[in-house]
Structure 1
C-alpha cells in the first residue's frame, strides 16, 4: 500500500482518487526528463574505459589522468544541493534547460579538446550541468505526477534508466574507443542536449513555489565547500591511500564544514536545508538507504571489471559487454519496483531488495580463475541488478514522500546528492580493500587480484545486510511523521 500524506501537510485536498493512467502530456514530459537523466548517467562512466587513450592523445600523465574523472565528480556531487535549492527559487524548468545547454557546450568543448586544460574545463562544465539537471529533472518529475502509483511508476523508470545509464556508459565507452574515437563520448551529448533545450519549454510546465524565499548564501557556500572537500578526499583515496595527509585533511575539513553548516542552518531565517526536514525518518533513512545502494552496486561493477580484466584477461570492450545483463536487470528492477512498493510498501521493498542483493553479491565469493565462472557472474549481476533497482526506486519514493511541491527541490537535491556521493564513495573503499589484500600477498597476479576482489565482495555483501537491518529498524512510514 502506498503511504498516504495527512491533509495537514498536503499541498492540497486529496478527495478525488488519484489518476491511474498517464496523460499524453505526462508521457512527453516523462520521455524528455528520462532522456536527459539517462544521458547524464552515461556520462558518469563513459570515459572510464577510454582514460588510457585520452592520456596518450591529449598528454595527461599517469599522476594527472584521474582528474578527468575527479573534476566531473567534484562538481556533480559538490554543487547538487545548491542547485536543487536554486531550482526551488528561480524555477526548476529554467534551471533544467540552462543545465542542458551547459552540458551541450561542455561536451562540444571536450570533443574538440587538444590540451589537458581544455578537457578538464569541459569535464567541469559537464559536472556542473549534472549538478543542475539531475535534481531539477527529478523535481519536475515529482511535481508532474501526484504522490501515488503514477509517481512510483515514473520514479521506477527514472531509477532504472539512471542505473542502466551507468552500465551503458561502461559498454559504450569501450565500443566508441575501439571503433571510432573517445571524442564521440563527448559529441553524442550535443544533439541530445540541443533537442532537450528546444523541446523542454514547449512540453514541460514551469515549477516553482508561489512565494520566493531568500537564498541562504552562507549555508550554500559552506555545504558546497564541505561536499567538495569530501568528494576530493574520496577521489584522492582512490588514487593514493586513505592515510595520506591530503586525503585525511580533505575528509576532516569536509566533516568540520558540515558541522559548521549544521550550526548555520539552525540559526538561518531561510535555511538551505531546514533541520526539521532532516529529522524526518523518510528523509534521513531514505537517503542513507539510497547512498548505500549506490555505494554497493557501482563499486561492485568496479570490482568485477578488475576481475574480468586482471584475472580472466578480458579486453576492456569484452569486460564492458559482460555487464549488459546487469543493465537488463536494472531496467527490469525499475519496472518491478513500483509494483512491489504498491503491494508491500516502501520499507518492505527496500529491506527485501537489500537482502536479495546481498545474496546475489555473496554468491560471487565462489568466483574462480577460469572462464567457467562467467556464468555465475552473469546470473548474480542480473539478480543483484533487479534487487538494487527495487531499493533505488524505494529510496526515491521514500525520500520525496510527504512533502509539498515547494519542498521537492530540496528533497530531490538531497536524493541526488546521496546518489552521487554514493557513486563516489564506493570505489575508493573497495579499491583500498583490494589494494591492501594484494599488497599483503606480495605481488599483483591474476590469483592475488582475485583474492583481493573477493575480500571486497565480502565487505560489499556485509554492507547490503547492514543496510537491510538499519532500514528495517529505523525507517518509519511517512504517515507517522506528519502528525
Structure 2
C-alpha cells in the first residue's frame, strides 16, 4: 500500500484540475446571472482558463525540470490554491477571470507536467499502466462529481463554495507532498528559454483568440469586428498572426539548438511517431469533450430550462461510464494494444455523438439522452485509459517533464479550441438560421426584419426564448409577430445546437488516420514496446 501513497496525492491533483471546468460548465446560467453578463462572456472566461494552461504548459514543464519536479508540483499547487481562494470571493467578472482563468491556469501549468513526469518516474511496467489508468479514472471522477456536486451547490448554495473547498484541499495535498518520490536531477541545471516561452504563449494565444472572437467578429464578413482589414473581419488575420508567431517560435528553437543552448522544447520529439500520435489524439479528445460539455449544458439549461443541479443529473451517465471505462485501462492493456483500444473508443464516440444528435429536439427524450451520454462516457474513458501511458512511454526519463508539458499543452489547446471553435460555430449557425427563418416567415413584417437585423449586427448571444419574447415586446412588436420571431429563434436554437454537435462528429472521424502510429503491442509487455523511445 505504501507504494501507492504518491498516487493518492497525484490523483487528487488531477481530480482537482478537471473538477474546475466541469463545475463552470454546469454553472453557466448562474454565472451569467451573478455577474450580470451573457453566455459569450462566460465562454470567454472558460476558454481563457484552458488557453492560459495551453500557452504556459511547455514553460511549466521546463520550470519543473529547473526547480525539481516535486518542488515545481508543490509551487504550482500553492499558486492554484491562491487562484481558487480569489475565485471564491470574486465580486465582478474581471476578478473571476483573474483568479480562475489566469492564476489557477498558471498554477495548473506547473502542476500537470510535473504530475505526468512524477507518475512515470514513480512506477514501472504494469504498475505504470495501472497508475495512468487511475489518473484517467480520477479525471473521469472529476467530470462525474463536477456536474452533480457543482450543480447541487450552485443551485441550493453557491458555486463559490466549490472553489473555497479546492483551496482547503490544496492545503491538505501540500501536507502530504513528502509521499511523492522525487528523482534527483542529473547533469547541469536546465535554463529557461525566455524568448521561446514568450513566442509560444503569444502564438497559441492569438490562434485561440481568433477562433473565440469569430462568433462576434465574423469569419470573413465583419459583424462586430473592432477594425476591418481590406473590408474583411479581423478573425483570420489574428489566427494567421498566431501561426506566424508559432513558426517564429520553431525557428528560434532551432537557432537555440544550433548555438548549443537549451531550447524550450525539442521539436525532434515530434518525430517520434507514437508520441506524435498520442499528442494528436489528446488534442482531439479534449476538443470533442469540451466542445460537447459547452454545448450540452446550453441545450439543457437554455432550451430545456434545467437548473445547474438538474443539468448535473442529466450528465451523470457520461460521468459514471467515463470513470468506469478509464479505470478499466490496465485490464484492457492485457488483452489489446493501445491502437486497438483507441480505435474502438473512437467508434464508440462517433456512435454516441450521432445518437446525441438525434436527441437534440425541443422536447427532450430523457431515456435516449441518458443512453447517449453513457455511451459518450464509455468512449471518452477508453481514450483516457490509454493516452497518458502512450505519451510518457514514448520517451526516456530525461524527457519526462518536457513530454508532460507537451501532453497537457495538447489537452488544453484542445479544450480551448473545443470551447472556442464549437462555441463560435454555434453562434454563427444560430445567426444564419435565425436570419433565414425571419426573412422567409410570412407573419413577420419588413420593419420587424430590419429591427431584428440591426439587433443581430450589434451582437448575438445564446439566450432563452423568453428573453427573445421580452425583447420583441420591448420593441413594440404586435403579439403575432413576436410569436413568429420566437418560433423562428427556437428553431434556430435547435439547428445551431445540432450543427455544433455535428462538428464534434467530424473531429472524431478526422482523428482516425492518426491512430496508425499508436503502439501495436501492449505497453506492459516490455520496457519500450514502441521502439521509438528518445534518450
**What TM-score comes out, normalization by structure 1 length?**
0.87
Give RMSD over aligned pairs.
Answer: 2.5
User: Larger C-alpha radius of gyration, 1 or 2?
Assistant: 2
Q: Are 2:240 and 1:252 aligned?
A: yes
What corresponds to 1:439 in structure 2? 431
What corresponds to 1:40 in structure 2? 17
- 8 A Cα contact 1:351 1:469, kept in partner: no
Q: CA deviation at 1:80?
A: 0.8
Q: Are 2:165 and 1:165 aligned?
A: no
Local SS of the residue matching 1:314: coil
Q: CA deviation at 1:321?
A: 1.7
1:420 corresponds to which of 412, 416, 419? 412
What corresponds to 1:106 in structure 2? 83
| Offset from partner CA, 1:269-311 (integer Å, 9 cap, x none) | 3222112211111121110011111111221222222332344
- 8 A Cα contact 1:88 1:406, kept in partner: no
Q: CA deviation at 1:144?
A: 0.7
What corresponds to 2:192 in structure 1? 215
2:113 corresponds to which of 124, 135, 140? 135
Q: CA deviation at 1:378?
A: 1.1
Structure 1 residues 250 and 73: alpha-carbon distance in aligned structure 2, compared to 1, 3 A threshold: farther
What corresponds to 2:506 in structure 1? 462
Local SS of the residue matching 1:188: helix
What corresponds to 1:479 in structure 2? 530
Q: CA deviation at 1:52?
A: 5.1
Q: CA deviation at 1:204?
A: 1.1
Distance of 2:34 and 2:306 partners within structure 1 = 24
2:181 corresponds to which of 199, 205, 212? 205
Structure 1 residues 67 and 332: alpha-carbon distance in aligned structure 2, compared to 1, 3 A threshold: same
Q: Are 2:249 and 1:261 aligned?
A: yes
Local SS of the residue matching 1:47: helix
What corresponds to 2:388 in structure 1? 396
Distance of 2:40 and 2:376 partners within structure 1 = 34
Q: Are 2:327 and 1:327 aligned?
A: no
What corresponds to 2:338 in structure 1? 346
Structure 1 residues 241 and 42: alpha-carbon distance in aligned structure 2, compared to 1, 3 A threshold: farther
Distance of 2:17 and 2:217 partners within structure 1 = 27
1:23-422 maps to which residues of 2 (within 5 A)?
24-51=1-28, 53-54=30-31, 57=34, 65-123=42-100, 124-146=102-124, 148-200=125-177, 202-211=178-187, 212-237=189-214, 241-243=218-220, 244=225, 245-268=233-256, 269=260, 270-367=262-359, 369=361, 371=363, 373-422=365-414
| Offset from partner CA, 1:127-175 (integer Å, 9 cap, x none) | 11111111111211111111x2211111112122224324533333332
- 8 A Cα contact 2:25 2:294, kept in partner: no
Q: Which moved more, 1:333-342 or 1:230-239?
A: 230-239
| Offset from partner CA, 1:348-403 (integer Å, 9 cap, x none) | 11111111111121122321536562212211211221122211232212111132
Q: Which moved more, 1:369-378 or 1:76-85?
A: 369-378
Q: Which moved more, 1:382-391 or 1:321-330?
A: 382-391
**What TM-score comes out, normalization by structure 2 length?**
0.79
Distance of 1:407 and 1:185 partners within structure 2 = 35
Q: Which runs of 5+ in 1 are unaligned?
A: 1-23
Distance of 2:357 and 2:41 partners within structure 1 = 34
Q: Which runs of 5+ in 2 are unaligned?
A: 226-232, 438-487, 521-528
Structure 1 residues 238 and 37: alpha-carbon distance in aligned structure 2, compared to 1, 3 A threshold: farther
Local SS of the residue matching 2:401: helix
Distance of 1:290 and 1:30 partners within structure 2 = 22
Distance of 1:121 and 1:315 partners within structure 2 = 26
Q: Which moved more, 1:46-55 or 1:205-214?
A: 46-55
The alignment covers a number of residue pairs equal to 457
Distance of 2:21 and 2:216 partners within structure 1 = 17
What corresponds to 2:441 in structure 1? none
Structure 1 residues 355 and 423: alpha-carbon distance in aligned structure 2, compared to 1, 3 A threshold: same
Distance of 2:419 and 2:95 partners within structure 1 = 26
| Offset from partner CA, 1:248-279 (integer Å, 9 cap, x none) | 34322221111111112222232221122111
Distance of 1:68 and 1:368 partners within structure 2 = 26
Distance of 1:162 and 1:429 partners within structure 2 = 23
